[in-house]
């Protein structure tokens, strides 16, 4: 093994980001690292490159333990990294970028000729014919990527980590990059490749390692795994026993009092789609990360307003220009990223709970202190929010409790349509079950819910029907007996099926 980890563990307050992860990279292979958001990929990379310090476990380079304290040290050992956002200086020349920090000098002065020669030499073999004296920014992102790779390979030379290198490249540029990667593999480098594009993963990788919730799930030769298996491994099927009892109350509403979205969408984010939400209905939404799930939710809530279509209910058109009007229409949205989009970390649990209701009432009609206290205590008890008191800053609570506070915030507005984007991600099993139970409770009272989740069993357990999203389109809708993890997986994985074919 060129580079390997043994029982590598890293935790942050509230979560274990890496839990005894074993990983091995051979010389001369391209090894893909796969997992949904929060699986632990970037934490693993940051531990390998010295950006994070591990809590426990070993990192072995050619069998010897190493302790990189910074990316520079990791580079010196032989581990170089290239990120999605090129980490070079766009206004310097290609040559300066390549040689920065180790320019050939004489008496302390940089020798421009020698620097250019060195840069030419570093770029040799990458199939680039560019003028190294021009600023880096005058070239395409793909060329910049390759320059970054050339620099990383020159400085480290043994292991190359590519973190989402193709995210902003077009198909031709991807091929250009892959030619370089294959060539480097031929030269005996070990390459770790991270990407959300499964086609690319299968095209370039020799081995696959799948992480989920900070744990190592599997490592296979790429040829032994198919798309379906890979997605199954990535999304996991852990909840099977726990939520096997399906509790799905009857949908109480009729199509007459439903909210009807017709042809809503947003150019470049999610293709126009139709959706009818009846009272007391739970609609699941499944799809891989970046498939358009969150984008759908943002359109439905007016966070990124729709640029087409209409929304109507029994009373006529519904205004969804922005979150404020959506909330006025009785909508609520618990976003995927709690930290940046959900909680107001510095404010207390009480203030976080009353926030949406207060915003809807307007600044001039403050909720009386006693009423705030009563609401906070009520929800703390009802949702079993673990906090010493209602005045604790919400940022100090654990992830699961933060999620419950956000749910409380929305329940306090008594919405008719609640959108939950990954409501159970990154929270412990106990809180997980409680949140699912809560969904059932409020649905029984006639609330409509849209749940977006990567946990298929969870979706199956709570949803009346499931919409599958792929490549920023709603590709199929599963109802009745079709609502099962297997059918969902197949719909997500099917590379070229259409809505009609699935139905």
Partner 1 sequence: MTGSTLLRRIAPQLLTLAAVIVLVSIYYPAFYQIVYVNDRLVGIPIDVIKRGAPVALLAIGMTLVIATRGIDLSVGAVMAICGASAAWSIDQGYGIGAALGIAGAAGLVCGLWNGVLVAFFGIQPIVATLILMVAGRGVAQLITGGTILTFDSDTFAFLGSGTMIGVPVPTVIWILTGIGFGLLVRRTALGLLVESIGVNLRASTLAGINSRVLLIAVYMGSGFCAALAGVIATADIRGADANNAGLWLELDAILAVVIGGNSLLGGRFSILASLLGAMIIQTINTGILLAGFPSEFNLVIKAVLVIVILVLQSPRFMPYLELLASRFKRSSVTRLEAGE
- By CB under 8 A, name the one of 364, 370, 381, 481 that touches partner 1: 364
Angle between helical axes of 141-155 and 112-123 (0-180°, round to 10): 100
Pairing between β-strand 56-61 and β-strand 215-221 as defined by DSSP bridges: unpaired
Contact region with partner 1 (CB under 8 A), list: 8-16, 151-159, 186-194, 321-329: 321-329
Distance between CA atoms of residues 237 and 255, nearest Å: 34
Total of chain residues touching partner 1, rule CB under 8 A? 31
Query: Could you say which of 27, 155, 359, 502 contacts partner 1 (CB under 8 A)?
Result: 359
Site for partner 1 in 289-318 (CB under 8 A): 301, 303
Of 184-192, 209-217, 288-296, 359-367, the window that binds partner 1 (rule: CB under 8 A) is 359-367
Pick the binder of partner 1 from 31, 409, 464, 473 (CB under 8 A): 409
**Residue selected from 319, 366, 389, 501 as contacting partner 1 according to rule CB under 8 A:** 366
Q: Which is nearer to partner 1, 182 or 339 (CB)?
A: 339
- CA 349, distance to chain mean position in Å, is 26
Q: Which 272-291 positions form the footprint of partner 1 (CB under 8 A)?
A: none
CB 73 within 8 Å of CB 156: no
Binders of partner 1 among residues 367 to 396 (CB under 8 A) are: 367
CB of residue 342 to partner 1, shortest distance in Å = 6
Bridge partners of residue 220, in order along the sequence? 208
Q: Is 319 in the site for partner 1 (CB under 8 A)?
A: no
- The Cα–Cα gap between 182 and 191 comes to 10
Q: Which of 233, 343, 408, 443 binds partner 1 (CB under 8 A)?
A: 343
Q: Which stretch binds partner 1 (CB under 8 A): 54-62, 186-194, 202-210, 362-370?
A: 362-370
Give the single-character DSSP code of 126.
Answer: T
Task: Report the residue number, 108 or 362, with the smaller CB distance to partner 1.
Answer: 362
- Cβ neighbour number for residue 326 with a 10 Å cutoff: 24
Query: What is the Cα–Cα distance from 352 to 330, expressed in whole angstroms?
Result: 19
User: Among residues 73 and 341, whose Cβ is nearest to partner 1?
Assistant: 341
**Does the footprint of partner 1 cover residue 358 (CB under 8 A)?**
yes
Cα 421 to Cα 418: distance, rounded to the nearest angstrom: 10
Closest to partner 1 by CB, 350 vs 470, is 350
**Cβ nearer to partner 1, comparing 345 with 433:** 345
Q: Does the footprint of partner 1 cover residue 340 (CB under 8 A)?
A: yes
**Shortest separation between residue 365's beta carbon and partner 1, angstroms:** 7
In whole angstroms, give the CA distance from residue 76 to residue 138.
30
Least distance from partner 1 to the Cβ atom of residue 496, Å: 35
Indicate the Cα dihedral angle 351, 352, 353, 358, nearest 10°: 70
d(CA 163, CA 51): 14
C-alpha–C-alpha distance, residues 486 and 495, integer Å: 15
269 counts as binding partner 1 under rule CB under 8 A: no
Nearer Cβ to partner 1, position 119 or 353?
Answer: 353
Neighbours of 475 (CB within 10 A): 23
Nearer to partner 1, 409 or 464 (CB): 409
User: What b/e string do you get for 376-408 counting C-beta neighbours within 10 Å, with b at 16 or more?
Assistant: beebbeebebebeebeebbeebbbbbbbbbbbb
Q: What is the contact surface with partner 1 in residues (CB under 8 A)?
A: 301, 303, 322-324, 327-328, 333, 335, 340-347, 351, 355-356, 358-367, 409
């Amino acid at each position: 093994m060129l580079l390997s980890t043994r029982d590598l563990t890293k935790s942050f307050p509230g979560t274990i980001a890496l839990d005894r992860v074993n990983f091995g990279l051979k010389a001369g292979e391209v090894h893909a690292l796969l997992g949904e958001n929060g699986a632990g990929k970037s934490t693993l990379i940051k531990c390998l490159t010295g950006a994070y310090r591990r809590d426990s476990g070993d990192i072995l380079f050619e069998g010897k333990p190493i302790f990189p304290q910074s990316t520079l040290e990791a580079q010196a050992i032989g581990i170089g990294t290239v990120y999605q956002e090129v980490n070079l200086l766009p206004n310097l020349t290609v040559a300066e970028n390549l040689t920065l920090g180790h320019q050939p000098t004489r008496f302390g002065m940089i020798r421009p000729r020698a620097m250019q020669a060195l840069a030419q030499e570093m770029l040799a073999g990458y199939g680039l014919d560019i003028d190294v004296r021009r600023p880096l920014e005058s070239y395409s992102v793909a060329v910049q990527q390759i320059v970054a790779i050339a620099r990383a390979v020159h400085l480290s030379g043994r292991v190359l980590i590519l973190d989402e290198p193709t995210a902003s490249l077009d198909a031709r540029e991807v091929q250009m990059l892959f030619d370089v990667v294959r060539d480097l593999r031929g030269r005996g480098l070990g390459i770790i490749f991270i990407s959300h594009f499964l086609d690319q993963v299968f095209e370039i990788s020799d081995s696959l390692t799948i992480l989920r919730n900070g744990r190592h799930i599997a490592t296979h030769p790429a040829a032994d795994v198919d798309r379906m298996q890979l997605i199954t491994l990535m999304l996991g099927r852990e909840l099977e026993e726990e939520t096997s009892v399906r509790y799905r109350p009857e949908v109480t509403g009729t199509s007459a009092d439903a909210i009807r979205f017709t042809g809503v969408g947003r150019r470049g984010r999610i293709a126009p789609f139709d959706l009818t939400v009846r009272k007391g209905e739970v609609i699941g939404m499944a799809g891989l990360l970046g498939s358009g799930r969150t984008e759908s939710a943002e359109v439905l809530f007016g966070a990124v307003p729709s640029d087409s279509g209409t929304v109507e209910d029994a009373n006529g058109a519904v205004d969804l220009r922005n979150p404020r009007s959506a909330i006025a229409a009785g909508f609520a949205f618990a976003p995927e990223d709690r930290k940046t989009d959900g909680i107001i970390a510095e404010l207390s649990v009480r203030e976080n709970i009353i926030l949406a209701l207060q915003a809807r009432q307007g600044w001039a009609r403050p909720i009386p202190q006693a009423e705030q206290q009563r609401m906070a205590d009520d929800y703390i008890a009802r949702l079993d929010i673990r906090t010493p008191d209602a005045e604790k800053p919400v940022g100090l609570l654990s992830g699961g409790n933060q999620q419950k506070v956000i749910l409380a915030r929305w329940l306090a507005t008594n919405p008719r349509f609640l959108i939950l984007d990954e409501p159970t991600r990154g929270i412990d099993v106990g809180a997980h079950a409680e949140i699912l139970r809560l969904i059932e409770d409020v649905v029984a009272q006639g609330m409509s819910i849209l749940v977006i989740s990567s946990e298929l069993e969870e979706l199956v357990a709570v949803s009346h029907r499931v919409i599958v999203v792929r490549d920023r389109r709603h590709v199929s809708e599963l109802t009745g007996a079709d609502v099962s993890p297997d059918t969902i997986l197949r719909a997500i994985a099917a590379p070229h099926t259409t809505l009609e074919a699935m139905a």
